[in-house]
Structure 1
Amino acid sequence: MTKFNLNQILLLLAAMLFTHSCGTSPAEEKTSSTSHLLTVATAPVVRASMVDTVRIFGTVHLRNQAQVGSQFDGRLDDFSLLPGDHVRKGQQIGTIIPPAREALLRTLQNMPAHVRPDLEKQIRAIPLISPIDGIVLEVMHHTGDVVQQGEQIVQIGDLHELDIRGDLPVQYLPIIRQTDQITASFVDYPHPSMNLSLQAISGQINESNQTAMIRLKLENPAETFRPGMLVRLAFAGSRHDSTLIIPRPALLEEEGVYSVFVLKDIHVERRQVEPGFLQDDRVEILSGVAADELVITERAYSLDDGMEVVVRNK
């Protein structure tokens, strides 16, 4: 009796499972069949105008600086400047005591009082004068040092007006001559980008790398910037009209070979392409795709040629 009941129960369970399996809806079957597929996003290949952006690096330089040195042999006195000190044009920053005055000072006390003033007038200390307004950049000597004629004592730089200099490849010279503004952004220094005017182009070409030095004027009234800072320089280059453009995330690069994935029905097709202008968010494509085709813009690096996908925004 027990064996008979057990067989009936097993048959009943099998019938229930079969009925449930046959009752699965088409929507449920579709969901089950696509659950393992990769979901991607696409964007159309469009025709539009695109302008190349020329980018180079530059550095900040002093526009006005002075090396202050001694015009005579002697001993440096009354000099207390340190790097970072500010000086004014015409300010006395020290004195040079000539050897003759040193000898006079040693013997002056032994001379009659009425001749001392005349002797001091004849052999005077020589004032050391700052030729420009600026900040002390480097100190080569200190009070008490013996210096020779022409020997440099201190370097002074004017930080209020600086230059940005960069090396521009010669192929861009015709373009930059027609450029009104160049965008400058500092590397590793938190400051908003600035639009600056081109001041000059060097009359000489660097033969080793075929570049010409360009110079921009950088106003610096608050002395925010310093010589040696690295700057990115950018300006508009050539313009291509009615060219093919895709979003930058769609472009793949492996060992110098560029490609995209194009959507064909529910599958993807890998295409090798030739990129043109590259911008942060867009890429010009010279060959490999056609207008209005859909390229994969998301999770493209996870795809293989011929893979079936689910399109999220189709």
Structure 2
Amino acid sequence: MLSAAIILSLGYLIWSASAGGTSGATTVLPVVLWHGMGDTCCLPFSLGSIKKLIEEHTNGTYVRSLKIGGNVVLDYESGFFVHPNEQVEYVCKHLAQDERLAKGYNAIGFSQGGQFLRAVAQRCPEPPMRTLITLGGQHQGVFGLPKCPTLTATSCEYLSRLLNEAAYEEWVQDELVQATYWHDPLHENHYRLGSTFLADINNELYLNENYIENLNKLKKFVMVKFLNDTIVQPKDSQWFQFYTSGQDQVIQPFNESKVYKDLGLDRMLRKGKLQFLGIEGDHLAISKAWFIEHLVPLLLLA
């Protein structure tokens, strides 16, 4: 999730990048970006500047920041009200039509854009995604809304109550994006049967072998966790961990979770394809220097 307040915390990252960039004639794969909730593809003070930052440090590689719908208003609203399955289908179609991505691309997802891009990797192997980087992605979902800075206090209270009481009602799943990755550890069966997005891409309803095969085609799957995150609960979801079933206090070890094997993450770990990065700070609070030091080199790998 990404809000106007969180966008401001990206200020470290998105001021004008130095002109030096990456030297040499390194060929870099195109990069696809997917924003989080409360943001859009192209605002000059958020993903627009991130796009520029990547271009300047990768010899001008092609960067496509995804816009859902025909304009930024629709793109903004999609983060709240367009079902992720519909969004993923839309993105897959448009990526397949982009000739500049035909030989492959790297992808960076911000907050909920992270799990949406993972769904793209699992459902749409062409054009091929090579490296997936998720920043604060809720791969095991969320259970709690500690802040709703993009909404009024009344709206936030209503949204929290709605998710707590009726997240898995069909109409809520259809109308509210965040309900589709609401993961109630106290009622796991309700979650698995009611979630119309996350339970599917995590292979929790039935084993989709294509999801396992396609995810394992990635060369790298990099998960960035914000160690002082006050937005994502639990923050461990950013590293594909979650509460042990039946309670909401103890985090289950990564390699003991059902999804670890059911999604083929065990294979990826054995092959050295998984990378877990931690950074001090709140949700999406990344400095420009950290981004350049830790993430840009991942984009330079063939």
Range of TM-score over shorter length: under 0.3
Larger Rg: 1
Q: Which has the higher contact order (CA 8 A, sep 6+)?
A: 1
TM-score (norm 1): 0.19
Structure holding more helix per residue? 2
Structure holding more strand per residue? 1
TM-score (norm 2): 0.19
